[in-house]
Each structure stands twice: as C-alpha cells, then as structure tokens.
Amino acid sequence: MLTNNQNVLNWVDEMVNLCKPDKVVWIDGSETQLKLLKEEAIKTKEMIELSQEKLPGCLLHRTQPNDVARVEDRTFICSKSKDDAGPTNNWCDPKEMYEKLTPLFDGVMKGRTMYIIPYSMGPIGSPMAKVGVEITDSIYVVLNMNIMTRMGKSAFENLDENSNDFVRGLHSKANVDPDNRYIVQFPEDNTIWSINSAYGGNVLLGKKCFALRIASYQGKNEGWMAEHMLILGIENPKGEVKYVAAAFPSACGKTNLAMLIPPEIYKDQGYKVWTVGDDIAWIKPGEDGRLYAINPENGFFGVAPGTSAKSNFNALESTKKNTIFTNVAHDLENNTVWWEGLNDSPPENAMDWTGKPWNGKKSEVKGAHPNSRFTAPAKNCPCISPEFDNPQGVPLSAIIFGGRRAKTAPLVYQAFDWEHGVFVGATMASETTAAATGEVGVVRRDPMAMLPFCGYHMGDYFKHWLDMGKKISDKAPKIFNVNWFRTDENGKFIWPGFGDNMRVLAWILDRCDGKACAVKTEIGYEPRPEDINTQGLDLDSDIIKDLLSVDRDLWKKEADEIEKFFAQFGNRLPEEMKSQLKNLKDRLS
Ligand code: GTP
Ligand code: SPV
Ligand code: MN
C-alpha cells in the first residue's frame, strides 16, 4: 500500500471484492517493478521486445482487430439527470449503468493480477494537477500509463490524507468482447468504468476519460477549462516566447503542429518552436488575469502513419527509445517497426499489424493500422519546452480552432472578439478520421474538437466558455480558426502544411501584438494574401488568394447547418450564440 488515504483504500477494497483477482499489485513506479512487468509481458507475448540496439527500451503491441480505436457509440456520460449529459452524449441513469456493469466486472479478474496505478495529471505539486487511481488487469495499460502520466507513489503527494478528490478509474480488458464494451464516465462520482477494450483512449483512463470528460465537468464547477488542445511556444529572434493553444479534432494535426519545425527563412532569423503539449490542455486564469495552460500528460500517444523525418522529425525522434508501438508493422529483419508514410522502403520480411506475414513491397494491404500509435515520453522530444514541468503553466496569447474542411473554411481567420471566437469554436466542423470507429471522411460538427470528450451538456459548455471570457476580459487570448486541409479540384491539399504552418502562426502572433494587417470579412478578420509570408514557397499569390477566399453560397449553407446543429441544445443554448448566428447571417446577406 502506497497511501494511508482511507478513501482510496476503501475504494480499492471494494473493487478487489468485485473483480476477485488472484493477486493485487500496487504500482509504485520504481524501475525494478517496471522492469519485471516488461519481462513478464514479453514472456507472455503480450508485448514484443524490439531491437535493443536500434530501439532501446521499445516494445511492440498488437490489439485485437476489433479493438483499434475509441468507440464513441459505446461511450457514456452517466450523470443523474439526462439533461446534464446533453444531446451530444450517450446517457444512461448511473444506477442502471452500475447495475448493468457490476455483473460484467464480478469476478472478471479471477486468475489475473490486479494492478493499482496512482498517477498525477499535471506536474506533481502543481496547483492545477489532479490525482487519479486506475485499477486494471493489463500490463500494457500500466506500461503506457507510465509514459503518459506521472505514475507511482509520488502521485499521492498531491492527495491529502483525508481528501476525496481523486478520480476512480476501473478497467478490465475482460475478454475484449466488442458487444460488451463500455467506456463509462460518472462525472458526479469522479468515477470511470471501462470494460472489454485494451486500446488507447478507451483504457488509458487518465487521458480522454479523466483529463477531458471528467475534468471538463470539474472545470465547469471549479472555474477552469479542460480542452482537447495542443500547447506550443514560439520563440522570436529576441528570445521572447509566446504561447498558443490549438484545438483540432482527433487525427487533424495537433501533434504535428505542436512539434513544428519552422521553414528555413524563420529558422535563419532565429525563430524556435517549443512543445508543451500535443493533445490536452488544462487552462485557468492566473493571478495576473491572463489564462495559463498546463499539459496534464507526460507523454505523446501519437498517430504513427504519416510520421516521418520529413513530416515530423521531432515526433519521430521522440519514438527512438522507451516507446511502445501499437498496431504498426513489424520489420522482422531488423526487429524494428514500420508504418505507411515512414519512408519509401517498406520491409519485405515483416508482419502486418494483425500479426500476419507481410511483404511491404508486394502486399496490397496496409502494414500498419491507420490509427496505429506510438506512446513516447515527452522528455524524448528534442523541442520539449523548458516550461513543460512548470507547475504554474504558460500564459496563452492565442487560441486556435481548426479542422479538416475540403472547402468552406479558409486557411486562417481571426474572430472579432471572445464572444465571436466562442461561436467560431462552437460551430467547428471537420471530416471524420480513423481515430474513432465509424465512417471516415464525413463532415460533422465538432465544437472545440470536444464532441466526443465533453463530460456535460454542450450548451452549458458554451456558456462556460463565455463566462471564462468575462472573467479575463481584456486579457483574453485572441481567437483564430485555421484549415490546413483545403483541396483542389483533384482532391489534393493546396496548402503545403506541416512546417509551413509557421507562416500562419507568424501572422497570428503579429495580430496578437497588434502588428499585422487584416481585412474584415463576413466571417472574421483575414490576412491579405501579402500578409502571409510565402518566401521560399512555390505558391503563387492566386493560390493564396484562393486559400483565403470566402464562398458566400457555401457559407450560407454553413449557417443553415449551424442553425440545425444549434437547435438540439434548446434553451441551454446561450443567447449569445443565437445572436452570433444571426449576425453571421446578416453579414452574409
Ligand atoms: P490525435 O492524437 O488523434 O488527437 O491526432 P492529432 O490531432 O495529434 O493529429 P496528428 O498531428 O497526429 O496528425 C494526423 C494526420 O494529419 C497525420 O497523418 C498527419 O500527417 C496529418 N497532418 C498533420 N498536419 C498536417 C498538415 O499541416 N497538412 C496536412 N495535409 N496533413 C497534416
Ligand atoms: C484521439 O483520438 O483524440 C487521441 C487518441 O488522442 S485516443 O487516446 O485513443 O483518444
Ligand atoms: Mn487527441
């Protein structure tokens, strides 16, 4: 036992009685313990040890083919009142849900070991950090939580002896039965129950379940925000660093933007980019009235396909040691890993992500699953921010929203003010990706990239954003929208993206400084084509003009779609959002 906190001990007792494991192991986070667990996972073939010469400390894991992504249709917010979960979440009465899941958990760990993982979301000792305890029967989960969180005995330093302020996470892979898979949040009980999955966001309970779904609910009650946002610092040639946070839906470029390498023309001048976080931000007003953000995580659970030395050097570097790869191809010759987009020489003697023999030169099927991932320690990242562990967080100058839109959304625009910015975030839409099961490539509304992650009524969530803006008033970060994914008539991306997104960030920061020019359009302030630095890019100014164009007819349709989307929130939709929609329509007509 690693704590005297009676609330923790009582809950663990209860869960032991429910799950009936053969053995109970408290995870203290020590090297010795982790080493033994790794060895055991390798012995049982749960994990494959990769070449310790080429990839020291790295492991490969394959999940069941039916268990490769978040399952939004099996994810529930169980608040007492259905209305508090709102129309965008699956809901079930908590009592009913506990009654349904209790028999599934009853005796589920017979013949297995139960691991009890204390962890901190946020730097230990940070006033913004919070404690969780995850109970699981999966070593894969323990080893991933070790990378993704501050895990072990020290996490309890943040929990007073009598405190009840910790999130209770219960997970069992059970027999990975998709028909009995449930990812359930009980926000009013600080509790998460997850069963019958062994994949990422479904089972690393500190991540989406706690740090977004439960934390968004806590934030609403406690006056802060939990957001699906990367955090990055941009250092100018004078050595001043400005921080921005950006919300893009899953697999829409957060990790990439967070680790961006500036193009030569910026590097030569002395610009640098520092990564604070790539997926989640906890944001709170500081004493000076500005918004401060911490990254509650300690590692990256990044999309592997498309990650290369060219597209994201820093992410790739982060995966060179002490990393867990999930559902990528296994290069048998080198005992290393491979995925689509890593390079142009797929291995011939390999196994695909399902464990079948695979010849990358000949095979028609993909070697890695499109949602295959790496779990890499943040400390491995060559551009990790010196402020990564700062318990106070970093002050935000700008907040950016974005998504995948083949048409409609221009490359970048700035909201008129905070309230309009909340409207821009609330009406975000994006084409769906492989990060969740379901159809890929259909446009769906995804407010603030939080549709799958908001732990309460989305209308109240908009209200919370508006309230936060009132608290910080003139110190509020400026709000922007970006779209790297506009396509031409052949379906090809027009904007080069990746490192060149720095050119857009530069305009954004200049706007925050009151330096850059902009024109007022129907949807917000936009740069003129000449305000985006295209030096060294092979793009003529017509293309930039096109990327920035606002198609009125498309936007009129967009406004109608927004109206339909808003209708479901009924009287919980803040008046401000209605008037913002009316203003947009007026500007377009
Ligand atoms: P989650 O971890 O699921 O939340 O994803 P994410 O938002 O961190 O997305 P990530 O950065 O992993 O990028 C997902 C996919 O988008 C990858 O295939 C990238 O190669 C691609 N991508 C990222 N940035 C850009 C860009 O600027 N332009 C284009 N065309 N593709 C991009
Ligand atoms: C996402 O889907 O937004 C992810 C991956 O970051 S997961 O942890 O599976 O949610
Ligand atoms: Mn994510």
Mean pLDDT of the chain: 97
The answer to whether residues 396 and 477 touch, using CB atoms and an 8 Å cutoff, is yes
Q: Nearest-5° angle of CA 554, CA 555, CA 560?
A: 100
Q: Where are the alpha helices (DSSP H) in 366-426?
A: 418-426
- State the pairing for strand pair 443-445/429-431: antiparallel
Among the bound ligands, the one closest to the CA of 207? 2
**Gap between the Cα atoms of 475 and 481, Å rounded:** 19
What DSSP character marks residue 570? G
What gap in Å lies between CA 478 and CA 467, rounded to an integer?
16
- As given in the structure block, the two tokens for residue 557 are 């349709």
Picking from 366, 360, 327, 329, the residue whose alpha carbon sits closest to that of residue 346 is: 360
| Beta strand extents in 403-452 (DSSP E only) | 412-414, 429-431, 443-445
For the Cβ of 438 lying below 6 angstroms from any atom of ligand 1, the answer is no
| Ligand approaching nearest to the C-alpha of 275 | 1
Left (φ > 0), alpha (ψ -120 to 50) or beta: where does 406 sit?
alpha
> Could you tell me the distance, in angstroms and rounded to a whole number, from the CA of residue 317 to the centre of ligand 3?
20
Cut 0.75: pTM above it? yes
| Distance from residue 137's CA to the centre of ligand 3 (Å) | 24
Predicted confidence at residue 194, as pLDDT, reads 98
* pLDDT of 292: 98
Q: Find residue 90's DSSP bridge partners.
A: 76
CA distance 85 to 475: 31
Q: What does the alpha-carbon distance between residue 239 and residue 236 come to, in Å, rounded to a whole number?
A: 5
Count, residues in the chain: 589
Q: Residue 145 has what pLDDT?
A: 98
Instruction: Specify whether the CB–CB gap between 399 and 245 falls below 8 A.
Output: yes
Structure tokens given for 424: 């821009």
Q: What SS3 class is residue 56?
A: coil
Burial class (CB in 10 A: 0-12, 13-18, 19+), 431: middle
CB 110 within 8 A of CB 473: no
**Nearest alpha carbon to residue 19 among 101, 92, 77:** 101
Query: In degrees rounded to 5, what are phi and psi of residue 197?
Result: -135, 160
Question: CB-hemisphere CA count at 13 Å for 181?
Answer: 24
Q: Is the CB of 311 within 6 Å of ligand 1?
A: yes
- Residue 4's CB is within 10 A of a number of other CB atoms, namely 10
Residue 371: per-residue pLDDT: 97
CB atoms within 10 A of CB 557: 12
Q: Cβ(176)–Cβ(197) under 8 Å?
A: yes
Query: Which residue has the least CA distance to atom 1 on ligand 2?
Result: 250
**Residue to probe by mutation, ligand 2, list 61, 70, 185, most atoms within 8 Å of CB:** 70
Which residue, by CA, sits nearest to atom 29 of ligand 1?
497
- For ligand 2, the distance from its centroid to the CA atom of residue 507, given in whole angstroms, is 29
Select from 72, 256, 343 the residue to mutate for testing ligand 1; criterion: most ligand atoms less than 8 Å from CB. 256
Ligand nearest to C-alpha 247: 1
79-124 pLDDT tens trace: 999 999 999 999 999 999 999 999 999 999 999 999 999 999 999 9
Question: In sequence order, which ranges of 80-214 are alpha helices (DSSP H)?
Answer: 82-85, 94-105, 139-148, 200-203
- 356 forms beta bridges with none
Whole-number pLDDT of residue 1: 82
Q: Which residues are catalytic?
A: 252
Task: Write the residue with the smallest CA distance to atom 5 of ligand 2.
Answer: 201
Q: What is the CA radius of gyration of the chain?
A: 23
What token pair was written down for 548? 């920035």
- Say yes or no: CB of residue 434 within 6 Å of ligand 1: no
- 540: pLDDT strictly greater than 90: no
d(CA 260, CA 400): 15
User: Distance between CA atoms of 165 and 144, rounded to whole angstroms?
Assistant: 23
Measured in degrees and rounded to the nearest 5, phi and psi for residue 256 equal -60, -45
Digit-coded pLDDT (tens) for 299-350: 999 999 999 999 999 999 999 999 999 999 999 999 999 999 999 999 999 9
The span from the CA of 150 to the CA of 388, in Å, is 13
DSSP 3-state of 241: strand
Closest CA to 417 of 545, 576, 556: 576
Q: Could you identify the residue written with the tokens 């977004």? A: 212
Give me the half-sphere count of Cα atoms (radius 13 Å) on the Cβ side of residue 23: 8
b (16+ CB within 10 A) / e for 492-505: eebbebbbbbbbbb
Domains of the chain, start order: 6-46+71-223 (3.40.449.10), 227-298+386-588 (3.90.228.20), 299-380 (2.170.8.10)
How much is the average pLDDT of 246-251?
A: 97
Which ligand sits nearest to residue 368's alpha carbon? Answer: 1
Nearest CA to ligand 1 atom 15: 251
| CA-proximal residue: ligand 1, atom 13 (nearest) | 253
User: N- to C-terminal Cα distance for the chain?
Assistant: 66
Arithmetic mean of pLDDT, 6-27: 98
Distance from Cα 491 to the centre of ligand 3, integer Å: 25
Whether the CB of 499 sits within 6 Å of ligand 1: no
Amino acid at 351: M
Antiparallel, parallel or unpaired: β 525-526 and 23-26: unpaired
Asked if residue 4 has pLDDT above 90, the reply is yes
Distance 228 CA to ligand 3 centre (A): 6
User: So what's the pLDDT on residue 130?
Assistant: 98
CA angle 456, 87, 452 (to 5 degrees): 60
Task: Report whether pLDDT(541) > 90.
Answer: no
Q: Whose CA is nearest to atom 7 of ligand 2?
A: 201
Measured torsion, CA atoms of residues 12, 18, 19, 23, in degrees rounded to the nearest 10: 50
DSSP 449: G
Question: What is the whole-number distance in angstroms between the Cα of residue 120 and the centre of ligand 1?
Answer: 27
Which residue CA neighbors atom 10 of ligand 2 most closely?
Answer: 201
189-244: pLDDT as tens digits:
999 999 999 999 999 999 999 999 999 999 999 999 999 999 999 999 999 999 99
Q: Is the pLDDT of residue 385 over 90?
A: yes
Per-residue pLDDT tens digits for 137-196: 999 999 999 999 999 999 999 999 999 999 999 999 999 999 999 999 999 999 999 999
Ligand 2 atom with minimal separation from the 279 CA: 6
Q: Compute the average pLDDT of residues 381-408.
A: 97
Distance 208 CA to ligand 3 centre (A): 8
CA distance 213 to 220: 11
Q: Which atom of ligand 2 is nearest to the CA of 228?
A: 3
Rounded mean pLDDT of 376-390? 98
Atom of ligand 2 nearest to the CA of 200: 9
Residue 498 pLDDT more than 90?
A: yes
179 is written with which tokens? 């028909």
Question: Does residue 4 have its Cβ closer than 6 Å to ligand 1?
Answer: no
Closest CA to 167 of 142, 186, 144: 186
Say if ligand 1 is within 6 A of residue 254 CB: yes
Please, what's the largest Cα pairwise distance for the chain? Answer: 69
Q: What digits encode the pLDDT tens for the residues 544-560? A: 999 999 999 999 999 99
3-state SS assignment for residue 322: coil
